[in-house]
Structure 1
Amino acid sequence: MATGTLFFLIVGGAGVGVLALALLGTELLQFGGADVDGPVSVETVAAFAGASGFGGAIVNELLGGRTAGMVAAAAAGGAVAAIPVAWIASRLSRAARNMRTDPTPTRDDLVGALGLVVTPVPVGGYGEVRVRLAGHPVKLNARADRAIPVGAQVFVVQALSDTSVHVETY
Structure 2
Amino acid sequence: MSTATVAFLILGGLGVAVLALGLLGGELLHIGHPDVDGPVSVEAVAGFTGAFGFAGAIASELLGARTPGLIAAAAGVGVLAAAPTAWLALRLARAARNMPTDATPTRNDLVGSLGVVVTPISATGYGEVRVRLGGQPVKLYARSSAPIAAGAQIFVVEAVSDTSVIVEETQHVR
| Structure 2 length-normalised TM | 0.88
Gaps of 5+ in 2: none
Alpha-carbon offset, residue 68 of structure 1:
2.5
Question: Which residue identity is paired with 2:71?
Answer: V
* Native 8 Å contact 2:9 2:53 kept in 1: yes
Q: Which residue does 1:9 correspond to in 2?
A: 9
SS at match of 2:158: strand
* Cα pair 2:118 2:150 within 8 Å, conserved: yes
| Structure 1 residues 48 and 31: alpha-carbon distance in aligned structure 2, compared to 1, 3 A threshold | closer
Of residues 8-17 and 110-119 in structure 1, the stretch that sits farther from structure 2 once superposed is: 8-17
- Determine if contact 1:30/1:36 at 8 Å carries over to the other structure: no
1:94 CA displacement = 1.0
Structure 1 unaligned spans of 5+: none
TM norm structure 1: 0.90
Calculate percent identity across the aligned residue pairs.
63
Q: Counterpart of 1:124?
A: 124
Q: Which residue of 2 aligns with 1:75?
A: 75
- Report the 3-state secondary structure (helix = DSSP H, G, I; strand = E; otherwise coil) of the residue aligned with 1:103: coil
Structure-1 separation of matches of 2:11 and 2:28: 21
The one-letter code matched in structure 1 to 2:25 is E
Counterparts of 1:30 and 1:53 in 2: how far apart (Å)?
A: 20
CA separation in 1, counterparts of 2:36 and 2:3? 37
Secondary structure of 2:73 counterpart:
helix
Higher deviation after alignment, 65-74 or 51-60: 65-74
RMSD: 2.0
Following superposition, which runs of at least 4 residues in structure 1 exceed 4 angstroms of deviation? 29-37
Cα displacement string for residues 59-111 of structure 1 (whole angstroms, at most 9, x for unaligned residues): 21222211223222221221111111111111111111111111100000000
Give the conservation status (yes or no) of the 8 Å contact 2:27–2:41: no
Q: Deviations over 1:15-68 (max 9, x none)?
A: 13432553xx31245698985751121111100000000111122122221122
Aligned length: 168
The one-letter amino acid paired with 1:120 is P
Using the TM superposition, give the Cα deviation of residue 126 of structure 1 relative to its aligned residue in structure 2, in angstroms: 0.6
Change (3 A) 1:100 1:46: same
Q: Which deviates the most, 153-162 or 51-60?
A: 51-60
The residue type equivalent to 2:151 in the other structure is G
In 1, Cα distance between the equivalents of 2:79 and 2:125?
A: 70
